[in-house]
Amino acid sequence: MTEPGAGETVVVITMPLSKQARAELSEMLGPGYAVVDMRSAPSSANIVLTTVVSSHALSILRGTFPRARILFTELHDDERGIGFAGPLSRIVAQAPDGYFIAHSLDALTPVVQSEVKLQLSGSTSRTPRTLSLTSAVPAPQQKTDVPSTSTVRWIDRLTFPSMPSGRWLDLEPIDALVVHMLRTDNPRRDPLWPALAAECIIRLAAHHPEDVLVDVAGLAPTTRAELQIRVESEQVNHAAWP
């Protein structure tokens, strides 16, 4: 099942997962579940699965799906050819002996004591990843806004008259290509458009030293979010302007 019906629990997938994969996940979840693409999802969706995204993209998802629980998801399924890595996957790939998130020294103390016992016993096993599920909230990381490479700047040109320096991505050729291929009157509403736009953005950011400027004025919130999710998944620096 891929289309939501009345009374169903709707799970939204923001990653470019195939229709078959969404149908298989829906079947695994069981009766009463519908797994849908972000573009066809109702605002009343229950769960949103997304790759790790920026706070700006997260706010778009929260505004689009105000009732949903939004879950950062790193998905790997070699059998189905699915791979959406994230920061935890990259950390674990380095094979540390353990990975812990502690929101206080009190929470860290038993972790260290447990690891010492393993070390003294000569154990070579790795400790499963552990989160300290306390009510404490870690302090937000301060942004330095000093990217190691070029940064993608999302800009609403209708709202902000002052512009940063950089190289504008011309979106009109992408519009024309989608119109030519699909004979559509509204190319930016088609799923192909954000895929092509994101690929152009990623390549420009990788091969040119100046910032990439993208005019997001008039784009649907879901299209904005999809662009940012695709760019984020390729570990490209990006930020809203100003």
* DSSP for 51-90, written as a single string: -S--HHHHHHHHHHSTTSEEEE--EEEGGGTEEE--HHHH
With beta carbons less than 8 A apart as the criterion, state whether 7 and 42 touch.
no
Tell me the C-alpha distance between 131 and 139, whole Å: 16
Question: What is the SS3 string spanning 135-156?
Answer: CCCCCCCCCCCCCCCCCEEEEC
- Collapsing DSSP to helix, strand or coil, 105 comes out as helix
Give the pLDDT of residue 224: 92
Give the pLDDT of residue 175: 96
Block means of pLDDT (10 residues each) for the chain, 242 residues, are: 69 93 96 93 95 87 95 91 84 80 83 86 70 45 50 91 91 95 93 93 92 95 91 88 86
Cα-based torsion angle of the residue sequence 227, 189, 196, 18 in order, rounded to the nearest 10 degrees: 80
Give the pLDDT of residue 135: 43
Give the pLDDT of residue 140: 47
Whole-angstrom distance between the N-terminal and C-terminal Cα of the chain?
42
Q: Each residue of 168-205: pLDDT tens digit?
A: 999 999 999 999 999 999 999 998 999 999 999 999 99
User: 139: how many CB neighbours lie within 10 A of its CB?
Assistant: 7
Q: Where do runs of H (alpha helix) occur along the chain?
A: 19-29, 55-64, 87-92, 105-120, 172-182, 192-207, 221-233
With beta carbons less than 8 A apart as the criterion, state whether 229 and 51 touch.
yes
Long-range contacts of 90-93 (CB under 8 A, 24+ apart): 92/129
Domain 9-72 has CATH 3.40.50: yes
Alpha-carbon distance values, 107 to 91, 111, 129, 138, 183 (Å): 21, 7, 15, 12, 59
Q: Which CATH class is domain 152-241?
A: alpha beta
Residue type, 103: H
Q: Each residue of 8-34: pLDDT tens digit?
A: 999 999 998 999 999 999 999 999 999
What are the start and end residues of each CATH 3.40.50 domain in the chain? 9-72, 152-241
Closest CA to 99 of 78, 54, 67, 129: 129
Alpha-carbon distance values, 104 to 71, 114, 213 (Å): 24, 16, 40
Crossing angle between the packed helical segments 192-207 and 172-182, to the nearest 10 degrees: 140
Beta bridge partners of 70: 48
